[in-house]
Amino acid sequence: MTTPKHLPTRKLGKTTLEVTTLGVGCAWLGRRADGSTDEETGQAAILAALDSGVRLIDTASLYVDGTAERVVGQALRERPALADKVVVETKVRDVRDFGYSADETRRSVETSLQRLGLSHIPLVFIHDPPAGIFERVMGPGGALTMLRQLQSEGVVGHIGIASNNPWDNTPYIESGEFEAAVVPDAYSLLSQVAVERIFPAAERFGMGIVVATPLERGLLATGVAALRPEDHINRQFTPEVLRHVAELEALCQRHGVSLLAAALQFVVHHPAVSTTVPGARRPEQAVANTAAMLEPIPDGFWHDLEPMLATYNINLPPEPTPQH
């Protein structure tokens, strides 16, 4: 097997965008364990990702209390030669109490443009709408209508959906109205939920899929031995999950593969998936993630992994029961 020297690129579904198979996620950019933020470290993480070859940045108006977009903008200005090569995706919902109306959506996009220092955002997602307000989001006077308007004004390139769990995300994805989706908490070495409805719908409509949370908040980067919950963000796992991860680590060891490489390459192995955006709090994490995406993995590993694929409910609310 030959190892690529650079991150491969793929077309993001039916959009005109080419993205590296690895992006960088900004939800915890520069966040310290005590909840405060170190913007310098956050910017260094983005620069490290870009310098290692990453050409996709996943951010959102809400991330790190609004600082993530500003930090991304600063990093982009540090690398002007990459300006037209990096795909920046952000998300509309600039305040927690967001009503997904057209007016709020325009305000949110304008805030993002200003913070990022851009006049055009290649890809904008509607962030975290619950399934229960589908009509409001998708109907006249809602977020989708405004994003289409901003698209016709040349401010927004492509429009996607990015709800925070598969139960909320799926109806939007299955509407066929979006060109791309961010899919969190639904596909990793510990979750196969997206295989049931999300990936088939995405393939039916030619949508680009960006898998989020591929590392299950870092558990699949460090493995269980290095687990020190107090050093990390959102790291609480059941003994059952930890036992399974230990078994995955043993499999990786038998094949001479790092768990991090297995976790990142697994998600982009699926034909419906274009790319994945692990979060990097610090620059060394971004560098390690690129190295892991380029690590050679023998075919025998994927074969032996197959029977170990399972779904654990790690971070999900209960699945709603169907209404008849």
Ligand X SMILES: NC(=O)c1ccc[n+]([C@@H]2O[C@H](COP(=O)([O-])OP(=O)(O)OC[C@H]3O[C@@H](n4cnc5c(N)ncnc54)[C@H](OP(=O)(O)O)[C@@H]3O)[C@@H](O)[C@H]2O)c1
Q: Interface with ligand X by CB under 6 A: which residues? A: 25-28, 58, 91, 127-128, 162, 164, 182, 184, 212-218, 221-222, 232-233, 260, 277-281, 285, 288-289
Question: What's the closest the beta carbon of residue 291 comes to ligand X, in angstroms?
Answer: 9
**CA atoms within a 13 Å half-sphere pointing along the CA-CB vector of 110:** 7
User: Measured in Å, how far apart are the chain's first and last C-alpha atoms?
Assistant: 51
Nearest approach, Cβ of residue 324 and ligand X (Å) = 29
Which one, 145 or 222, has the nearer CB to ligand X? 222
Shortest Å, Cβ 231 to ligand X: 7
DSSP, collapsed to helix, strand or coil, labels residue 131 as helix
Of 122 and 279, which CB lies nearer to ligand X in the complex structure? Answer: 279
Q: Which one, of 75, 143, 68, 58, lies nearest residue 109 by Cα?
A: 143
Instruction: Return the DSSP state at 28.
Output: T
Which 8-state DSSP code applies to residue 193? G
Closer to ligand X at the Cβ: 21 or 285?
285
- With tokens 């190892």, the residue in question is 3
Nearer to ligand X, 46 or 212 (CB): 212
Name the minimum Å distance from CB 163 to ligand X.
Answer: 6
Compare residues 195 and 287 and give the one whose CB is closer to ligand X: 287
CB 4 within 8 A of CB 40: no
* Residue of 219, 220, 239 lying closest to 229 (CA atoms): 219
**Residue 56 β-bridge partners:** 87
Element containing residue 113 per DSSP (H, E): helix 102-116
CB of 204 to ligand X, least distance (A): 21
Given the complex with ligand X, which of 93 and 299 has the nearer CB atom? Answer: 93
- Exposure string of 40-52, with b = 16+ CB inside 10 Å and e = fewer, is ebbbbbbbbbbeb
Residue 279 CB, nearest approach to ligand X (Å)? 2
